[in-house]
Amino acid sequence: MNLLSDCRFQKVSNGAADGQGTTTSDEVDMAGFDSVAFIVSIGAITATGTVTVHAEQDVITGMGGAADLAGSAQAYTAADSNKLLILEINRPLERFVRCICVRAVANAVLNGIYAVKRQSKNRPVTQCPTVVASKILLSPAEGTP
């Protein structure tokens, strides 16, 4: 299978300028999928700054009763500046999940949060409206792009 045929890509949060605070991603509806990976793109983290990422889930859209997922928290420091943080959740127990990114102590830049849903029950998947274009090439010849 091809990645684009099996996975649904979705931008779930825009970036946030250098600062502190909590960014909550859009919810991800897991209907028809068994796994989601949140990809958090972190920019510069000031020397004493921290970035903590964790996930929540809920049974209903809107996440009004969202609960933290045990063991999902991961902490990062200035040594992790300009890197990706990836948190994958396999078979969540509730239908809706989201990612929380907390920038604290000193400033940090958040470039954005993306979700990749995989293990689809219905293939090929349709890409999310946040994906402007996608294309699969099979054994392409060399030449004009």
Task: Say how far apart CA 34 and CA 53 lie, in whole Å.
Answer: 21
Task: Say how far apart CA 92 and CA 96 lie, in whole Å.
Answer: 8
Q: Where are the domains of the chain?
A: 3-120
% of the chain at pLDDT higher than 90: 90
Classify domain 3-120 at the CATH topology level. Answer: Jelly Rolls (2.60.120)
pLDDT of residue 121: 87
Cα–Cα–Cα angle for 22, 28, 30, rounded to 5 degrees: 145
Minimal CA–CA distance to 86: which of 27, 54, 52, 39?
Answer: 39
Cβ pair 106, 48 in contact under 8 A: yes
Cβ pair 32, 122 in contact under 8 A: yes
pLDDT digits (tens, 9 = 90+) for 62-92: 999 999 999 999 999 999 999 999 999 999 9
